[in-house]
Structure 1
Amino acid sequence: MPRVNIAAEADLIEQLENEAKKRGYTIYSLTNTALKALLKLLKEGEDATTLESLVDYYLISKALDIVPVTTWYLENLTKLAYEKDSKQYETICEEVGQQIGSFLRSKASTLDELFNFYNTIKVILPIRNVVAKNHGDLIEFRITGIGFSTVSTLCAGKIFSKIAEAYDLTVEDVDVIPGGIVIIKAKVSRPS
């Protein structure tokens, strides 16, 4: 099969060569693997940036030990858990929020960095949109596309509240709307 030259940033190629040498790969094999993955995405109608988002999501999934399951499964499991013990269910949701908040804070130390990180991976998340509006010392977050039932949306509200707290925000109000909408109002903490 004939070979062709492909243009890329010199610094990127240098880093790729270093990583290839460390792991015993050739540049030829790495570029073919990457190009095949990108071609699959493009043929499915996806944007080229989806590949980078998938890599970031994979790393997050690996770090948090995330197991992919269907929304249907989660909706039914959350309903059963809530019916069994609503208080324990809410506690578990809050603990998940603390875990994710701590992880995110280690990757993005400010809210601006967090939104940049979110924008990188949002194309592959089930969360449809996150909007933040500043009202002086109060920030209002509107998160959409995070569950269908009241119970799963309640859990999402608990999770996002704890993520907000990881960024030193004081959550004042959480409004959970069935259909996957959570509105969180939080105050910006002032350093003492």
Structure 2
Amino acid sequence: MTPDPRDFGNPPVQLLFCRQCRRAVNTYAGMTGVTYLHTIELRGGTADHRPDPAPVTEIADPLIECDFCSASDAAWIYRCADQHTDIRTVTTRVVRLGDYRDRHDAARARRVETAPGLTQAWGEQWAACAGCGQLVEERDLYGLIRRVVEAMPPKLTRGNRLLRVRGTLHTTYSAVFDTLIPGRGRIEPGHPLGVWPSGSDGTR
């Protein structure tokens, strides 16, 4: 995953929210076009409907949750360079025959082949609750990772998944910290993109 350098003199890309549940939506691009997924599903939650995306400014009273720890009381909007994550699909797993007979689906793969899958677009804006916002202000990368991991469902961090999750968060949040625009916007009723101090919202 690498930051996509942008001219921050341009207006920020709109956040997408679902018209039905008023929660954030993530964007994926693949061979079949653009698809959407509720952000809550990325954090181990579930949704009982398909996303119906629209710019957050078109959603009445959007439910803005912290993009870091998922807290329901997001207070701040930060802006950074857009990020894209390439997600590859496993196409082939090669295992030893004897190992498969003994362990079946738990057999250790000797070789794994993958193919390009979806590309996830994270966007430029990150909502933060007061606690995560404080860690962002302090540029406390490891403190932020620890806070987010502790808020995750156990099924996402159990066993050797924890190391992988921490590594992914380190890559993502490092890029956020490295490209943050000075200042932050306070989320207020009617201002889902935040109320920014003059001259600190990345515009020139």
TM-score normalised by structure 1 residue count: 0.28
Question: Relative contact order (alpha carbons < 8 A, sep ≥ 6): 1 or 2 greater?
Answer: 2
Higher helix share: 1
TM-score normalised by structure 2 residue count: 0.27
Larger Rg: 1
Higher strand share: 2
